[in-house]
Amino acid sequence: MKENEQRLLDAIADMKEDEALALAKAMLDGGENPLRVLELCRNAMETVGKRFQDGEYFLPELILAGEMLENIGLMAKPLIQKGGAAAAKKHGRVLIGTVHGDLHDIGKNIVTFMLDINGYEVKDIGIDVPVERFLEEIRAFQPSVVGLSGFLTLAFESMKETIEAIARAGMRDKMKIMIGGGQVDETVCKYTGADAFGNNAMAAVTLCRGWIEA
Amino acid sequence: MGADDKNLIGQRLQRVLDAVALKRPDRVPVAFHTMLWYAKYGGISYREVMYDYDKAAALGRRAILELDPDIYSPPQQFTTLGRVLEAARFKQLQWPGHGVGDNQPYQYLDREYMKPEEYDDYLFDPTGFWLTTYMPRVLGAAEGLESLPALPGYFYMRLVMGTRAFAHPKVVQAFANLRAAGEVANGLVAALNEFTREMDGRGYVLGQGAVSIAPFDLVGDYLRGARGILTDLYRRPGKVLAACEKAIPFILKAAISTCKASSSRFVFIPTHWAPDSFMSVDKFRTFWWPSFRKVLMGLIEADLVPVPLWEADCTSRLETIADVPPGKAVYWFERTDLARAQSVLKGITCLRGNLSPSLLNTGTPEQVDAAVRGLIENIGRDGGFILDGAFGIPDEAPVENVRAMFKAARKYGG
């Protein structure tokens, strides 16, 4: 790896935003292949994800890293030649959304981010998602795993309803369902009929690994 | 009032004060706190219970008399907010009939309510920023106050002539709207006072005379929004710290004056950005805790009892937050394991909590009974413990489970 490439990787991983953006800009201005720059960003994200997993990084770092990636992406994407699209994701598909009645999204966004940098193709269908919309999205996207997110206690019922509707639609055995959010625990998991629950974003990654790559 | 009632008044208060002072009470006190569970209890909609003071008060009275807690939260603090929210045209919340359905709880809208470049405006003149920028932004009723000038620039005859700012049509309209909203708020406070006077008379201890906030949470939730505050920790850490520091005297003045006007010494402080999973212990110690500790100390010095509700799991924070004088605060934990909390905080703060909402919502009365027994046996009857839900009674909890909780508290608490 070239010296400036390593510096870009380190700057992103070490949360030096100004330096990272300046380095990326200089590399792109100097004619560096934009796909290479984005690949470096992805590598840096893996380091960020690892530090998150190790308990060194938390929400501020994930969000800042996400914004750095977004800004570098904005600089790089117009320079990408046609046909040079980024490599396809290696692993399976995960559909994720916050269940109906609940407007919270921080936890869901972090799970989406962590699954994404761990190589899953994630479709995030937003907050306050009605049961019917989950069914439509599942039919269209054909995920291996569905993640239901919710912060409020009302989400227990919404998760249960969503999972029951998936079962009624005859799709329950085609996927694993995981739930997560502030109040979710083993009791809620049983109550809703989910396959598993998680209390943090790494739990979601671990669950998907167990289910998809087994 | 009979002699028994008078006796009970002293008993419940003494029980609670003993628990706070880490002395063994006659039995473990139990608290009743909820937001919208009254609707479930009374078989009416969230919307109805948020708008109808009389119905809410009747349900609150019935619930308290039936459940017989030692400490209670009145329905006028977190429930009957509909009319005031509407009169103020509050923009930071969605509530039944306003953005969410009639049977959905009110929810905060996480947005950027202060731009990053406005930190300096806040730091230079918090009152001016509040009056002419922040209030019009979050209260529809305050729209128009942007037209007020920078008043400290007016003096002598200029000050006299400066009164014309208050004749500006937009300002006139804003003050008229705010007055109307304030009168609705006064109506709610009158209902609150009537309710708490009655409960004081019956010997129930008002759980909070005021609601306060951690400086970091004020800046994070109500000014910058989640994305803003979290990235500010890297982009403008000095501004975050300065804004937290600046907010302290304002937070203290509001909480102390409100609480002193009530019959309670307890100040309820739901915390938002403290949990383990939100930031590293280092960042917590740098950005979150120091200004909050000053708020806690300011309340304690004013002879009030802060009751922070440590939301989510705060296990990694326990050693840090143990730095308060003994017997002066109640730490209410939502998901932190109470036995773990006690291992660090024993002899320092009274603990409160924390029957899980999953149990209260989906368990059976027998399971609730067993969980109450387990908590009391684990955390102990020797003082320093108030039994409650993790975040009070969840809105959806079946009534029989709530009854089981209070019954078990009396059965095992002695």
> B280 vs A57: CB contact, 8 Å cut-off?
yes
Residue in B100, B283, B312 nearest the CB of A60: B283
- pLDDT tens, B7-52? 666 899 999 999 999 999 999 999 999 999 999 999 999 999 999 9
pLDDT band (50, 70, 90) for residue B61: very high
Say whether pLDDT at B215 is over 90: yes
Tell whether B322 lies on the interface with A, counting CB pairs under 8 A. no
ipTM computed for the complex: 0.90
Selected residue of A54, A153, A163, A202 to mutate for chain B interface (largest B Cβ count, 10 A): A153
In a domain, B243, yes or no: no
Q: Which of A98, A84, A153, A154 has its CA nearest to residue A127? A: A98
> Domain spanning A3-79: which superfamily?
Methionine synthase domain (1.10.1240.10)
Output B275 or A114, whichever has higher pLDDT.
Answer: B275
User: Does the residue B215 lie in any domain?
Assistant: no
Cβ burial of B119 (10 Å; 0-12, 13-18, 19+) is: buried
* CA of A192 vs chain B CAs: smallest distance (Å): 10
Structure tokens at A23: 């380095």
Q: Which residue has the tokens 């079962």?
A: A167
pLDDT-derived band at B5 (thresholds 50, 70, 90) equals low
Interface test with A, best of B224, B232, B277 (most A CBs within 10 A): B277
Our measurement of the distance from residue B194's CA atom to the centroid of its chain's CA atoms, rounded to an integer in Å, reads: 20
pLDDT of B1 > 60? The answer is: no
Lowest model confidence (mean pLDDT) among A80-89, B284-293, B348-357: A80-89
Starting from the edge strand earliest in sequence, which strands make up the sheet with B71-72, in order?
B31-32, B71-72, B205-206
Mean per-residue pLDDT over chain A, rounded: 90
Exposure string over B346-357, b if 16+ CB within 10 A, otherwise e: bebbbbbbbbbb
Name the domain count of chain B.
1
B300 within some domain: no
CB B27 within 8 A of CB B37: no
User: Which of B107, B109, B395 is closest, CB to CB, to A153?
Assistant: B395
pLDDT digits (tens, 9 = 90+) for A76-87: 888 876 555 555
Q: Say if B78 falls within a structural domain.
A: yes
Which chain B residue has its CA at the smallest distance from A68's CA?
B231
Least reliable range by pLDDT among A103-112, B167-176, B247-256, B301-310: A103-112
A58 and B283 in contact by Cβ < 8 A? yes
Q: How far apart are CA B52 and CA B73, in angstroms?
A: 17
Cβ–Cβ gap B227/A63 under 8 Å: yes
B281 falls within a domain: no
Q: Which domain holds residue B145?
A: 34-206
Query: Of A46-50, B54-58, B327-331, where does mean pLDDT reach its minimum?
Result: A46-50
Q: What would the CATH number be for the domain defined by A93-212?
A: 3.40.50.280
> How big is the CA angle at A196 (ends A191 and A199), to the nearest 5 degrees?
100
Q: What integer pLDDT is reported at residue B236 of this predicted model? A: 98
B116 in A contact zone (CB under 8 Å):
no
User: Would you state the pLDDT for residue A113?
Assistant: 83
Query: Could you tell me the pLDDT band of residue A214, with boundaries at 50, 70 and 90?
Result: low
- B275 inside domain: no
| Residue range A162-208, pLDDT digits in tens | 999 999 999 999 999 999 988 899 999 999 999 999 988 888 999 99
Structure confidence at residue A153 (pLDDT):
87
DSSP assignment of B225-244, as one string? HHHHHHHHHHH-HHHHHHHH
- The ranges assigned to domains in chain A are 3-79, 93-212
B12 inside domain: no
Contact with chain A for residue B75, Cβ under 8 A: no
Q: Which residues of chain B make contact with A17, given a CB cutoff of 8 A?
A: 234-235
Asked if the Cβ–Cβ distance from A58 to B104 is below 8 Å, we say: no
d(CA A156, CA A182): 11
Q: Model confidence at A89, in pLDDT bands (50, 70, 90)?
A: low
Give residue B164's pLDDT: 96
Q: How many CB atoms lie within 10 A of CB A152?
A: 23
Radius of gyration from C-alpha coordinates of chain A: 19
Closest to A40 in 3D by CA, of A3, A75, A9, A86: A9
pLDDT at B6: 61
Candidate from B107, B226, B357 with C-beta closest to A183? B357
* A37-41, B44-48, B226-230, B300-304, range with the lowest pLDDT: A37-41
Q: Mind telling me how many Å the CA of B288 is from chain A's nearest CA?
A: 13
Mean of pLDDT values over B251-257: 98
Would you say residue A19 has pLDDT above 60? yes
Q: How confident is the model at residue A90 (pLDDT cuts 50, 70, 90)?
A: confident
Place of tokens 């009624």: A168
Q: Supply the mean pLDDT for chain B.
A: 95
How many whole angstroms separate alpha carbon A21 and alpha carbon A8?
8
- Comparing CB atoms, the residue among A57, A103, A187 nearest residue B107 is A103
**pLDDT of residue A104 exceeding 90:** no
Q: CA A168 to CA B160: how far, in whole Å?
A: 74
Residues of chain B above pLDDT 90, percent: 94
Q: Which helix (H) or strand (E) covers residue B55, if one does? A: helix B53-67
Q: Is B16 helix (H, G, I), strand (E, B) or coil?
A: helix
In a domain, B155, yes or no: yes
Q: Which residues of B touch A103 (CB under 8 A)?
A: 94, 100, 107, 109
Q: What is the pLDDT of residue B42?
A: 96
DSSP chain A: --HHHHHHHHHHHTT-HHHHHHHHHHHHHTT--HHHHHHHHHHHHHHHHHHHHTTS--HHHHHHHHHHHHHHHHHHGGGPPTT-PPPPPSS-EEEEEEBTT----HHHHHHHHHHHHTT-EEEE--SSB-HHHHHHHHHHH--SEEEEE--STTHHHHHHHHHHHHHHTT-GGGSEEEEESTT--HHHHHHHT-SEEESSHHHHHHHHHHHH--
Interchain contact B357–A (C-beta under 8 A) = yes
Would you say residue B270 has pLDDT above 70?
yes
